[in-house]
Chain A
Amino acid sequence: MEHVIEMLGIRKEFGNFVANNNITLQLKKGEIHALLGENGAGKSTLMNVLFGLYQPEGGEIRVRGKAVKITNPNVANDLGIGMVHQHFMLVENFTVTENIILGSEPTKMGVINIKNAAKKVQALSEKYGLDVDPYAKIEDITVGMQQRVEILKTLYRGAEILIFDEPTASLTPQEITELIQIMRRLIAEGKSIILITHKLKEIMEVSDRVTIIRKGEGIGTVITAETNPNQLAEMMVGRQVEFKTEKTEAKPTDEVLTIEKLVVTDYRNIDKVKGLNLKVRKGEIVGIAGIDGNGQSELIEAITGLRKVKSGHVKLNGTDITNMKPRKITEEGVGHIPQDRHKHGLVLDFPIGHNIALQTYYQSPIAKGFVMDYKKVSEKARQIIKEYDVRTGNGEMTPARALSGGNQQKAIIGREIDRNPDLLIAALPTRGLDVGAIEFIHSRLIEQRDKGKAVLLISFELDEVMNVSDRIAVIYDGQIVDELNPKETTEQELGLLMAGQSSKNNMNDAKEGND
């Protein structure tokens, strides 16, 4: 069969770092070709090379058999290559149409012909079943619709080859189902698709072939129908991967965290947590399963004091900590691994050692009155770097920015656990990390549980919640709609609950959360 795209022996360097080394990917016409690799394996780099955002140092790109040089996105567009970016490339205060036509605007006597453009957008959206409102502003529409706008951008430019970069990362299960249908429709219309992902399930469901890369190296291409998730995982990671995390039965005892009828608003003053109840006991890991945006962030911020509680109570070991200052709550015995380690977890421009002092810099022995003893900071940092196997270039004085994501996260976890908190909150602790780091972090969470601590885990990844938790609380629309035993539930059941569908055994509770 004809190859529409051939990337042969591509090499891309950033300074001394080789992001892509001798990678080959061949896309056949009319196929969905998955590009699989861990975070940081070089998938996005390879696709940015194809899209003209980066220039490769070696190798050749052929489009429909012809060798080409793709020097910028315009060239890619002209060759019929379009990219649906993971982080949407949309101007927030522009309308859908304005975003779509940007760069190739239809004009009438020098003036943008917005009506014509909107009509064309409407026609395209009907042809491919991509429901959008041409005149809506991006900031007012859902994530799902924003993604459809991204797809329309490529189709508007006549793309025949579409690159989807981690398209399901921020979608709800329904939106994912819809997206898969859209992709199939695109194929039916004669398009070809490259799907970048690290999710094996999606690959098995939708792709025809898979090319695997690992640490910048091309590993090989296999036909999806002839492989299985275990083999793919092994190719991706380079060794056998345990899908199940080893752990003993939990022996929960006293309640540590008690949340009663909690109501929290977001920055626009809209209720995001709506009368939520939850308990976490010593010696157990409670996993909060849910889709992004159902109140998880607000819940964590309310527990840790970063956001005001509107009503209801948060108790820690029986003490009411509702609306206490964040520092007071930390001192009461809460450790917090924040969901965005770059935004909240670290001061990236500080040395990693100074970051390790972030919660304790004002306490003895680091502080003596208002004077700070940086020698003590270094001592503590070296201890944690050693205990948590944080790989740094230059010891504790390495800038936090220079560490890999996994090592940054290990430092944060070390900092939080070292304070010996009764409750450890871990929000998306493994987001964007490779399998090695993920295993390390999971084992540390379980270790805390075994020491009799309470652990609250928030994750968008069903696998993680199912594997690590002892009890799963499903959050939907600001409420815990059900609590389940991970051993007795299935992903299907969880998925339905997360989407607001009531499960068989408690129809009544969840009804009101369903809109």
Chain B
Amino acid sequence: MSFLEMLYFIIPSAILYATPLIFTAIGGVFSERSGVVNIGLEGLMIVGAFVGIYVNLEYASTFGTATVWVAMLAAVIVGGIFSLLHAVASISFRADQTVSGVAINLLGLAVSVFLVKMIYDKGQTDMITRSIDRFGIPYLQDIPFFGPLLFRDVYSTSILAFAVAIGAWFIIYKTPFGLRLRAVGEHPMAADTMGVNVNRMRYIAVVISGALGGLGGAVYAQSITLNFSHATIAGQGFMAIAAMIFGKWHPIGALGAALFFGVAQTLSIAGSGIPYIQDIPAVYLQILPYVLTIFALAGFIGKASAPKASGQPYIKGKR
């Protein structure tokens, strides 16, 4: 394999693996920016993956080519609703946000597998018949080097992921909603005295994270695993958290981190066929995203710091 061929293989694959991470990580950015830690992204992805596969399997004949999109929409809605549990517990009931997130993870997995067993009477679903397609972008795919690298085998969901990242940046940094969101995560009482409804902002942010986490799960299941079982989502949600931190709680940063982690995942899975890479034990590539995130937090790769009020419930009148 020539170096160019290698790149043409690695980069599209990396983008494929990065896409679900981008959605989920940006969901995490919304939640954490509002001051709610969301460890439950893994569980939300699981729910999204299940819903995506279920809708795809059941309604493929009804919706035809639109099936994957209907499935994703369903995952967005169910993910958003499911995340309300986390919102109610950690915002209104003042539960420890980490504990509530852990419960979301346990519940997401348990409910999904329970339903799979109930509906299909076995531990995993069949393979879906309609998966997310790739296509070539006209004209762009003919550009030398960049064409085959970026535009020849594109998933529409990857384009959506980039759009979501840019949209999130715009919302968070350019709109009143974003200003209030950040204020609520940094100094909720200040926001409250300015008439911003702290808990409402946090509810919205958590539901956005649930919707995007659900989307990430549905995209992952419909483009990579193509079925659902208890092991479909194995750490993707936590890797999205890592991408969010590595991206310093910034949507574009999270996008970059997710792409980077996508490369690491591709190499760890397909590395044995690639010269030079095959000499690196896969375990190094597998642990790379996590180890790098720790380094980032330790300040070796620029200082990453979380929103100030993250993790704390807002209690009126308490200083």
A90 contacts B by Cβ under 8 Å: yes
Asked if A428 CB lies within 8 Å of chain B CBs, one says no
Query: Among B189, B190, B195, which residue has its beta carbon within 8 angstroms of that of A104?
Result: B195
Complex interface: chain B residues within 8 A of A87 (CB): 319
Docked-complex contact B186 and A73, CB < 8 angstroms: no
Q: Which of A92, A103, A107 contacts B196 (CB 8 A)?
A: A103
Q: Please tell me if the beta carbons of A103 and B316 are within 8 angstroms of each other in the complex.
A: no
Chain B residues within an 8 Å CB radius of A91: 182-183, 186-187, 190-191
* Min C-beta distance of A263 to chain B, whole Å: 27
Of residues 123 through 169 on chain B, the ones whose CB sits less than 8 Å from some CB of chain A are: none
CA–CA, A77 to B193, complex, Å?
A: 10
If A98-B179, A103-B180, A111-B175 touch, whether A72 touches B190 (CB-CB below 8 Å) is no
Residue among B187, B189, B193, B195 with most chain A CB within 10 A? B193
Residues on B with C-beta less than 8 A from A54 are: 317
B187 close to A103 (CB less than 8 A): no
Cβ-based interface call for A74 (8 A): yes
Which residues of the other chain, B, contact A104 by a CB distance below 8 angstroms? Answer: 194-195
11 intermolecular pairs with C-beta atoms under 8 Å apart: A54-B317, A74-B195, A91-B182, A92-B187, A92-B308, A102-B190, A102-B191, A102-B196, A104-B194, A104-B195, A112-B174
For the complex, is A48 an interface residue (Cβ under 8 Å from B)?
yes
Residues of chain A within 8 A of B183, CB atoms compared? 91, 94, 102
Q: Which B residues touch A153, using CB under 8 A? A: 194
Q: Scoring B residues 219 to 248 as 1 if CB is less than 8 Å from chain A, else 0, what string do you get? A: 000000000000000000000000000000
A332 on the B face (CB < 8 A): no
Decide if A60 is an interface residue (CB 8 Å cutoff): no
Alpha-carbon distance A272/B189, docked complex (angstroms) = 31
Q: How far is the CA of A107 from the CA of B187 in the complex (A)?
A: 23
> How many Å from the CB of A430 to the closest CB on chain B?
20
Flag whether B96 is at the interface (Cβ < 8 A).
no
What number of A residues sit within 8 Å (CB to CB) of B?
29
Query: Does A105 sit at the interface, judged by CB under 8 A?
Result: yes
Residues on B with C-beta less than 8 A from A83 are: 193
Q: How far is the CA of A73 from the CA of B182 in the complex (A)?
A: 19
**Ranked 10 nearest A-B pairs via Cβ:** A103-B194, A89-B190, A74-B195, A105-B176, A103-B195, A91-B187, A102-B194, A91-B186, A89-B193, A103-B196
Cα A72 to Cα B179 in complex, Å, equals 20
Chain A residues near B195 (CB-CB < 8 A) = 72-74, 77, 103-104
Segment 76-121 of A: residues with Cβ below 8 Å from B: 77, 83, 85, 87, 89-94, 98-99, 101-105, 107, 110-112
Closest A residue to B192 by CB, please name it: A73
| Complex-state Cα separation, A105 to B175, whole angstroms | 9
Q: Is the CB of A85 within 8 A of B193?
A: yes
Determine how close the nearest CB of chain B comes to the CB of A496; give it in whole angstroms.
34
Name 10 extra pairs, CB < 8 A, besides A89-B193, A93-B186.
A77-B195, A91-B182, A92-B308, A94-B183, A99-B190, A102-B179, A104-B195, A107-B175, A112-B174, A153-B194
Is A51 among interface residues, defined by CB-CB distance under 8 A? yes
Could you tell me the dominant secondary structure of chain B's interface residues?
A: helix
Whether B186 and A53, one on each chain, are in contact in the complex, defined by CB atoms closer than 8 angstroms, is no
Q: Of all chain B residues, which has the CB nearest A82?
A: B193
Given known A48-B317, A102-B194, contact A89–B189 (CB-CB < 8 A): yes
Roughly how many angstroms separate A179 CA and B180 CA in the complex, as a whole number?
A: 29
Q: Are A103 and B175 in contact (CB under 8 A)?
A: no
Q: How far does the Cβ of B35 sit from chain A's closest Cβ, in whole Å?
A: 12
**Which chain B residue shows the least CB distance to A90?**
B190
- Chain A residue at minimum C-beta to C-beta distance from B316: A53
Interface residues of B (CB under 8 A from A): 174-176, 179-180, 182-183, 186-187, 189-196, 308, 316-317, 319
Let me know if A89 and B187 touch, CB within 8 A.
yes
Bound: A105/B319 CA distance, A = 26
A51: which B residues are within 8 A, CB to CB? 193
- State A74–B196 Cα separation when bound (angstroms): 8
Contacts of B196 in A (CB 8 A): 102-103
Closest Cβ of chain A to B307, distance in Å, is 9
Give chain B nearest CB distance to A424 CB in angstroms. Answer: 30
Chain B proximity of A414: nearest CB distance (Å): 27
Check B194–A92 contact: CB distance below 8 A.
no
Most chain A CB neighbours (cut-off 10 Å) among B176, B180, B190: B190
- Which residues of chain A are near B308, meaning CB under 8 Å? 92
A90 touches B187 (CB 8 A): yes
Q: CA of A44 to CA of B161 in the docked complex: distance in angstroms?
A: 48
**Whole-angstrom CA separation of A111 from B195 in the bound complex:** 19
Provide the residues of chain A in CB contact with B317, threshold 8 Å: 48, 53-54
Nearest-Cβ distance from residue A224 to partner chain B, whole angstroms: 29
Most buried by B among A77, A93, A98, A102: A102
Chain A residue with the shortest CB-CB distance to B173: A112
Q: How far is the CB of A118 from chain B (nearest CB, A)?
A: 14
Q: Which of B175, B176, B186 contacts A92 (CB 8 A)?
A: B186
Residue of A nearest to B190 (CB): A89
Nearest B residue to A74, CB-CB? B195
Q: Which residues of A contact B192 (CB under 8 A)?
A: 53, 73
Roughly how many angstroms separate A103 CA and B194 CA in the complex, as a whole number?
Answer: 6
Report how far A98 CA is from B181 CA in the complex, Å.
13
Query: B187 — which chain A residues lie within 8 A by C-beta?
Result: 89-92
Q: Report the minimal beta-carbon distance from B246 to chain A, rounded to whole angstroms.
A: 20
Q: A112 contacts which chain B residues (CB < 8 A)?
A: 174-176, 179
A51 vs B316: C-alpha distance in the bound complex, in angstroms? 13
Q: Taking CB as reference atom, which chain B residue is nearest A89? A: B190
A111-B193 contact, Cβ under 8 Å, with A91-B187, A94-B183: no
Q: Compute how far the CA of A93 lies from the CA of B308 in the bound complex, rounded to whole angstroms.
A: 10
Nearest neighbor of B189 in chain A, beta-carbon distance: A89
* Contact partners of A90 in chain B: CB under 8 A: 187, 190
Shortest CB distance A150–B (Å): 10
Give Cα distance in the complex from A48 to B193, angstroms.
10
Docked CA distance A98–B180 (Å):
10
Least CB distance, B170 to chain A, in whole angstroms = 8
Q: How far is the CA of A334 from the CA of B192 in the complex (A)?
A: 44
Q: Which residue of B lies closest to A98 (CB)?
A: B179
Q: How far is the CA of A89 from the CA of B180 in the complex (A)?
A: 14
B103 to chain A, nearest CB (A): 25
Do the beta carbons of A103 and B174 come within 8 Å of each other? Answer: no
| A110 adjacent to B179 (CB under 8 Å) | no
In the bound assembly, the distance between CA atoms of A93 and B248 in angstroms comes to 15
**Interchain CA distance A91-B33 in the complex, whole Å:** 13
Query: Which residues of chain A have C-beta atoms less than 8 A from B182's C-beta?
Result: 91, 94
In angstroms, how far is the closest chain A Cβ from the Cβ of B34?
13
- In the assembled complex, the CB of B152 is this many whole angstroms from the nearest CB of chain A, namely 36
Which residues on the B side are within 8 Å of A72 (C-beta)? 195
A342 to chain B, nearest CB (A): 11
Q: With the chains together, A77 CA to B195 CA distance in Å? A: 8
- List, in ascending order, chain B residues with CB within 8 A of A89's CB: 187, 189-190, 193-194
C-alpha gap A101/B308 in the complex (Å): 20
